[in-house]
Each structure stands twice: as C-alpha cells, then as structure tokens.
Chain A
C-alpha cells in the first residue's frame, strides 16, 4: 500500500477499498452508538436554527462530515512530491458517508423489527421516528443514504477547496453553532449591557436562531474571518518572538487587560453566568493545587478531594451555628487560618505514610485515602461531630463589612474565589522557579538520583502535598460559604477524577493550561454537579469527558495549552531535530570561538599524555 501511495495521480475509482470500508464502518458505528446512547432524541428538543435544525440532528449530521474529512486526509510527507487532492478523495468521502448512512439504515430496519428495549434503554419508537424524519422506513433509509453520502462528500471536499473557503466555512459553522448553543449565556450577557433587543432579534421565542439572523450573522462572521485572516497568528507570533523588556511589557499589558476583564465583566453578567464563573473558579482553584502535586512534583494523587472536604468541613464547623458538636461561630477570615492549619496537617498525615510509594501505587493509596476521608465524614462514628449524612447546614456567608459573600449573590462568590485563584496562580508561578520547584522537578524526573544529588525527597514531596492541600482547602472553604451547607456527597471520588481530567486536558504543569482546562471543562460542560454552559449535555457530561480524555491522550497528550517542558518531553524527536538544526546554525556563528577552545584543549591533552 505504501508504494501505491506514491503513485501520482490516481484514478478516482481505484480506491484503497479496505481503508474506505474501515472508515465507513467507523462512521456507521459512531452513528449507531450515538443513537443508542440517546443523544439525538434528547437533544432534538433543543433548536439550533428555529424549526430547521435541532441539536440532535446536528450531532448526527456532523459525524459523516467529520469522518469524511478524516478518512480523506492525506498523509503529507516532507521532501516528497505529494499527491494533489481531488476527485479521488471526494469519492473516498462519498463512499465512507454512504456506508455510514447504510449502517444507520440497518439500525432503522432493526429498530422496526425487533425490540431490544430491555438492555438498550434508547431502543425506542422515538428514535425510529427521529431517524425516519417521521416519514416511514423507506423514506428514512433513502434519506440517510443520501445525506450520509453528501455529508461525507462535504467533509472530503474541505480538503479540496482553497484554504480561504475552508477557513471561512469553519468560522461560520462554529460561530453559528456557539452562538446558538450559548443562547442562555449570551442573553444573560446582553441583558447586562441593555441589549435585549439584539437577543430578541437573534433568537426565536422557543430557542434557536431565527432563519434571518442565521443568514445575517453567518455573513458577518464570514466577512470577519476574511478580514482577520492571518492577523491573529501574526500577533501571537510577534508576541512569541519578543524578548526581554518588550516581552515583559506586552505580558504586563495582557495581564492588566485580563485582570480588568475579570473584575469588570461580572458586573454586567447575570446570576446564571456569575454562578457559572464562581463554579469555574472553585474548580480552577482545585486544579491549580493538583497541578502543583501532579504537574510539578509528579505525584499522582487521586484522593485530592480529601483536602477539598477538609477545607469545607473545617469552615463549616468553625462558622456555622448548626455545627453539632463545637460551634464557635467564627468569622470566615479567622476560620481560614484554622482551615490552612487543618489542611496542612491532613496533607502531612496522608502524605507521610504514602509518600514512599511511587507511580501507580501512590495513585491507588491516595484514591483509598480520599474515600476514607469522605466515609469518615459520613460515618455514624463521627456523626455527632460532623453531622454524618445530614452534613452541616446554615453556614453563614463571608461578612466583609461592606458586603456579604453568599450563595444567593454569586457575583460576590466569584470575586472571593478570584482572590483565592490569584493567590494560587501566584503561588504556582513563584514556586515553579524556586529551589523547591526545581527539587520537585528533579523528583519527578528521577527520584533516586534526586536523592543522591542531595535533595531530601521525602520533604520535597511532603511540601508538594501540603501546598496542594492548602489550595484545595481554600476551595472547600469557598464552597462552604457559597452553598451554605456541607454534605459528604459533595466530596465524591468523581471530583478528584474530574479535577485530574481538567489538569490533563488543559495541560499538565502549565498554569495557562489549567485555566483553559477549567473553563473548557467546568465552564462549558459543567462540574460533577454544577451545570455548565451546555446544560443540554448534562446527562452526557461524563461520556464527553471520557471521549475527550481518550482523544487527548491519543492526539495531544501534552494538553490544550501545554507547558514547554512537557511538549518537549512528549515530542523529543521533533525537538531534537529542531535543536540540531538550530545548533548547526549557532555553531557556525560562533565558529571562531570554537577553534580557539579546540586548540586549548588539544594543548591540555598533550600535557596529560606526558
């Protein structure tokens, strides 16, 4: 097959049939599993474009396009004349889509003839009606064969059309998609700015964009994408190439802009959006803490939620009048001191026994400890102290004198959490470039050698645990003040795992990565219990998390915004090649210096041999 790939040009019918068949079946299987998961039927209720397109159909229709695109992607080889893409690829996409549609039609036949509702909950008449467009079997099958083929063709066509068209299409499609899906958020935002009339025009009453607005906005986005073409990239490249003082200045401006946005924007946001931001902040704080433990020190801690729980419970006990055993009703600020102490101690207590384990063993043991802490809080034994399953309620907000931070005012919670996030970001940033940060890195790289180089690895690792624990406990304290009550069920193991996914997907070891990760995952998809922007996906959140994690591990293991170090680590070969080329360049520049040193060293050699 490899020899064949080199043949130029190829005739359109002379396809690599096993390849086409494989992708066609992949397409079909993805479609069938999507249907059986129940996504299309449930998401059908949500309109994207009023009366014409629902989110459910959109998802099903996107599959052949995506797989048509993937299946006809050409492996571009450097230094070889590559085949021009054309008719051949269009046929690939078409056939792949056709097979996908065929498989879906088979599903329809099966739906019609057998009842498998028992194991497959979504094997329902609704699904059948959805797939046949409520027009009967024959129409449905024909329609899906056609649409499948056309969409596969469209996906493949993206390779063939000029890049301007490709880029503009992508912008328009994704722009419209987000505009429509983020309806709630955008309405909320425009309300804050007094632009209700805009949203009234944009969205239909029952949800979804209106047809006119779709066309108008599509044109606007298309035009905008033509105008901005290349500029964004140029700007980021310019920023990347800056050095020294100039770079510092640019970073400073960037920082100030972001800071001002963070402070000003919430004032214009409604309750829902602020609530969402507060949730993102709480998880961001957790993720930043875990990033220190996992990303910097390389300790895979799967029981991180334990520290979150300790923070929450300590705050609850110290501030709530309803605390069953000991209720000093301290002020939040005072309680925070004890929260830090309690979290630090828990970090030491959990850390001390498990710190000598490595890798997988550490992960399993911490997983256990995370559960133990939750079960302790839930147990009857500690019930008299922490309220057992009933938890502790009536936790007061944070009284700041001029304002009170409490859950009913999510904006204030956001500001509170913002302060803590700033502390966490500052901490991670400073520690990274310190003696301790370097020790963590060394431990992550090779523990035994780190020890032989004079690093007390036990201390270094314990410090990572404690710093991480303190940051997580801040998050717990904010959660307690926000929700006003604390239950053991808030600290399920799922929280640990979701935070870990945030860190991995965002980019391990990189603060910006963690930021992006928590916005994308917690903000858009939602936390374990907290809804995100895409509330429609509430039921499929974990599925999407899983798919995203698998996809990232395969395609981009360094995360969305990788740290330089980690992408170097994962792409050593490419880096070495670059370094080699760069080294050649630099070496020839400093040629003169080399010659001088070389003579010196030969002189020494002569001396040594005498």
Chain B
C-alpha cells in the first residue's frame, strides 16, 4: 500500500493573525530521512511542535499511519510512536543520565503504585528491562554516556553530550518516527561528523524514520533522502539536496536576492 508513515495535508497555524505555517503538504515514508530547512523564523520548529502535539493546528490534517493525530495530547502522540528532541536541549537536568533515559520509557511500560509497593515479580522484571534497555541505548553513543557518567546528573554533561542524551531519550520512547530539531547545533566539526554518521545508523540499526531540522548544510547533504524548504511558513521547494540547492527560490530565501547559482 502506498500509505505514508506521516502525511500532512494543507496544514495551517496562526498565532494572533500571523500565519506561522500555511498550506503545508508534507509526507514521510517509512525508512526515509527527510530534512526540513529554511531561514530563521521560517516555521520549522512550529512544524515540529504541531506534529508532536505541543501546538494545535488552525486548519489541516496530520495523519500518522493513516490516523489523524490532530488534537491529541503530546503524551499520546509519543505513545503512538513519534518522538522528538528540542532545539534548545531540554533534558531533565537534575535527574541522572540513566534516569533520563529510563523515564522516557514511561509510555511503553505499565507498572503502577501497587506493583512498586508490593514489589511484584512483574514490577521487578519491568524495572530490570527498563534499565537494560536504557543501558543499551546509551551504549549506542560509545563510551560517552555510560560507565560512571550514567549516575551523574544531566547538567554535568558537556554540550555535545547533552545533545546525544536528548537523542537517546527520544530513542527510549521506542518511536517509529524520530523528529530531530537541529541535532548538531553548536557542535564542533569533529562532533558534527560523528553525529552525522550516527543519524545514518539510527535508520540502519534501529529502523527509525527521521525528520530533521538542520542548518548545517553538510549534514543535510550527507544524510537526507529528501529536503523540504520552508520560508515564512510556506513550503517553497522539495526534492533531493542537489535539486533543492540550485532552486532559485531557495537561494533567494537564504540570500535575500537572486544570484547566479554557480556552486
């Protein structure tokens, strides 16, 4: 069936008369890596907020696996299989690294008060599973988030490690679709290159479909199957990186005036 994993039809959101996004049609297929780019204020993060349920659209449909997710609580959207990271890294700073990843498995687990009080078999089993899975996910990032670091609070991490932990936390919700909001922002070239490789492995090893907002064009070029360009809340181009990068309206949006595309 040609059904898309995520399909967005004619999406529009208005903040006090200002159209943050309008007329957006968008789709992601299973196993794709799609990048969303655009100048500052183009509505990229709003777009993520809409998908993850933090903002409700004014008009339009968001279909995930064929079902509408408009108006659902963010927690339900997450439990359906959409996880995200935040542009301005929002970890739980005073929880340990392990706890940050453990808590994200909330919607995949079910033990309640009485399980914890009576220390039932099911409770203990689930706890150890949560912990194992958390360690497995943290292990994906090499030695950086494991070992003695697991029991350190998240605020003690370096900037790049916080970004990694945020991805780990999103992974722990066991999503099908992963929304990465500027995953390499503020990283040095070395770290950027490493994370670019990891994003590729997120698809190949873990089977996530990925939508990514990114300003770093090198990363966009290296990992994405498809690029969507937003400007002033309106999609202005779509296609492979090479197609989009020479699209005159994209160049105009970025540089402000038409120039010869001679790259």
Contacts and interface: CB of A to CB of B under 8 A. Distances in A.
A540 interface: no
A310 to B, nearest CB: 19
Contacts of B52: 452
Interface in B210-225: 222-223
B152 A579 contact: yes
B148 interface: yes
B238 interface: no
Contact of B102 (A430, A438, A457, A583): A438
Contact of B111 (A435, A446, A449, A569): A435
A605 B199 CA distance: 12
Contact of B197 (A430, A575, A582, A608): A608
A576 B73 CA distance: 36
Contacts of A433: 116
B156 A607 contact: no
B205 to A, nearest CB: 12
Interface string A507-544: 00000000000000000000000000000000000000
A435 B116 contact: yes
Contact of A442 (B95, B116, B126, B196): B95
A38 B107 CA distance: 59
Interface in A414-468: 426-427, 430-431, 433-439, 441-442, 445-446, 448-457, 463, 467
Contacts of B223: 608
Nearest to B53: A452
Interface stretch (A57-65, A131-139, A327-335, A589-597): A589-597
Interface stretch (B27-35, B57-65, B85-93, B244-252): B85-93
Interface string B105-144: 0111101110111010001001100100000000000110
B148 A431 contact: no
A565 interface: yes
Contacts of B84: 452
Nearest to B100: A442
B222 A608 contact: yes
A607 B75 CA distance: 37
Interface residues of A, number: 48
B99 interface: yes
A445 B73 contact: no
Nearest to A604: B197
Nearest to A565: B94
B230 interface: no
B103 to A, nearest CB: 4
A456 B73 contact: yes
A609 interface: yes
B155 interface: yes
Interface in B178-220: 190, 193-194, 196-198, 200
B147 A455 contact: no
A442 B112 contact: no
Given A442-B103, A572-B155, A435 B193 contact: no
Contact of B75 (A454, A600, A609): A454
Contacts of A457: 75
A430 B117 contact: yes
B104 interface: yes
A436 B142 contact: no
A446 B147 CA distance: 26
Contacts of B112: 435-436
A70 B84 CA distance: 52
A76 interface: no
Given A446-B92, A452-B78, A453-B78, A430 B143 contact: no
A601 interface: yes
B103 A439 contact: yes
A450 B104 CA distance: 8
A434 B156 contact: no
A568 interface: yes
A62 B1 CA distance: 85
A605 B73 CA distance: 38
Contacts, number: 143
A426 B113 CA distance: 12
B90 A446 contact: yes
A586 interface: yes
A455 B107 contact: yes
B79 interface: yes
B82 to A, nearest CB: 10
B54 interface: yes
A583 B153 CA distance: 13
Nearest to A600: B142
B106 A453 contact: yes
B95 A575 contact: no
B103 A438 contact: yes
B74 interface: yes
A597 B143 CA distance: 8
Contact of B153 (A435, A449, A575): A575
A155 B10 CA distance: 77
A582 B92 CA distance: 22
B22 interface: no
Given A430-B116, A463-B113, A586-B148, A449 B92 contact: yes
B73 A451 contact: yes
Nearest to B198: A604
Contacts of A609: 193, 222
Interface in A551-581: 565, 568-569, 572, 575-576, 579
Contacts of A586: 147-148
Nearest to B149: A583
Contact of B173 (A453, A565, A593, A597): A453
B163 interface: no
A594 B92 contact: no
A575 B151 CA distance: 13
B103 A452 contact: no
Query: Chain A CB within 10 Å — which of B73, B103, B155, B200 has the most?
Result: B103
Nearest to A440: B103
A600 B92 CA distance: 30
B143 A454 contact: no
10 contacts: A433-B116, A434-B115, A437-B116, A449-B92, A450-B92, A451-B74, A451-B75, A453-B103, A455-B107, A568-B94
The 10 residue pairs across chains A and B that have the minimum distance between CB atoms: A454-B107, A454-B78, A434-B116, A604-B197, A445-B92, A605-B193, A438-B103, A608-B197, A451-B74, A579-B156
Interface of B: 52-54, 73-75, 78-79, 83-84, 86, 90-95, 99, 102-104, 106-109, 111-113, 115-117, 119, 123, 126-127, 130, 142-143, 147-149, 152-153, 155-156, 169-170, 173, 190, 193-194, 196-198, 200, 222-223
